[in-house]
Homo-oligomer: A and B are copies of this chain.
Amino acid sequence: MPAGQQPNQYPVPTYPPPESEDEESWVWTQIKAEARRDAESEPALASYLFSTVLSHPSLARSLSFHLANKLYSSTLLSTLLYDLFLHSLSSTPTLRSAIVADLLATHQRDPACVSFSHCLLNYKGFLAVQAHRVAHLLWTQERRPLALALHSRIADVFTVDIHPAARIGKGILLDHATGLVIGETAVVGNNVSILHHVTLGGTGKVGGDRHPKIGDGVLIGAGATILGNVRIGEGAKIGAGSLVLIDVPPRTTAVGNPARLIGGKEKPSRHEDVPGESMDHTSFINEWSDYTI
């Protein structure tokens, strides 16, 4: 983490072993320390930090409280939502480990993310994904009307529209997130990074499996539109503003509207890094022969 370059980054100690029970405690300890420091330096924010973070005994309670107070409406009360989130997070360890993985992913990949608490409290992409996971859990439990009502609130409040049936991996960064649309039969792998205004859409009015499948480690640039039951291979990169209607091979880069592969269809360039983690949005420019200003 380029802490040196980012004076507004909080100091972060060495990471503990990943995905252990310890990791959740470790992140929660960081968050509380950050919130305490911010509350001390900024009294105007202290009330907010105590109510959202410092008064809670666990990350699950803090997040349940925060989501409930973000997503409630005059007809869906915050106490009901709080109950729903808390029960789901408490009883489902995989939801909690995904929260932690997403916090780490956001903190590591987005240089604008100054702290874990910054992500927990302010990243609408992070919050939308955590709420989606609870909606998805309800969907798999055949509590579909409730899942759809929750989906509607998430779409209203965060402008992030992920169908509750869509399956989303962990270690996800939704940067900015506004306008993201992910359809009913879409699947998103682990360690994927998706920018705002991205669509993983369907192909028509016939039901069935009709949305994209995004492999692990993929990076999808801002405004990219991927339509249909196509496969974006592991570690592929989709350039900003691209329109993708057919499969993209692993570790290649597709750009343009309609999208082409960098290096050509026959022998596309293959990169070694994992774009979903390296967040390299623009290094392909030199290879993109059509790009000429």
Chain A residues with CB under 8 Å of chain B are: 2, 5-6, 8, 38-39, 41-52, 54-55, 61, 65-66, 68-70, 72-80, 82-84, 108-112, 114, 118, 121-124, 143-146, 148-149, 151-152, 155-159, 161, 163, 176, 178-179, 181, 183-184, 195-197, 199, 201-208, 210, 221-223, 225, 227-228, 239-248, 254-261, 265, 277-282, 285, 288, 290-293
Contact = CB atoms under 8 A, between A and B. Distances in A.
Count chain B CB atoms within 10 A of each CB in A5, A121, A204 and give the residue with the most.
A204
A281 B181 contact: no
A292 B260 contact: yes
A42 B138 CA distance: 11
Given A205-B108, A222-B225, A278-B205, A291 B52 contact: no
**Oligomeric state, in copies:** 6
Contact of A50 (B39, B179, B204): B39
A158 to B, nearest CB: 7
Contact of A110 (B155, B196, B205): B205
Contacts of A124: 152, 155-156
A228 B280 CA distance: 11
A149 to B, nearest CB: 6
Contact of A51 (B77, B155, B277): B77
Nearest to A41: B145
CB-CB nearest 5 A-B residue pairs: A47-B51, A122-B152, A111-B207, A47-B50, A205-B279
B111 A202 contact: yes
30 contacts: A6-B207, A45-B149, A46-B50, A46-B55, A47-B49, A47-B54, A49-B145, A51-B80, A52-B75, A66-B75, A70-B73, A74-B74, A74-B78, A111-B206, A112-B163, A112-B183, A122-B149, A124-B156, A161-B178, A179-B197, A181-B196, A196-B199, A197-B197, A202-B281, A203-B280, A203-B281, A221-B225, A222-B227, A260-B293, A261-B293
Contacts of A197: 179, 197, 199, 223
A244 B164 CA distance: 33
A47 B45 contact: no
A79 B81 CA distance: 9
A43 B49 CA distance: 11
Contacts of A243: 239-241
A65 B79 CA distance: 7
A144 B112 CA distance: 12
A246 to B, nearest CB: 5
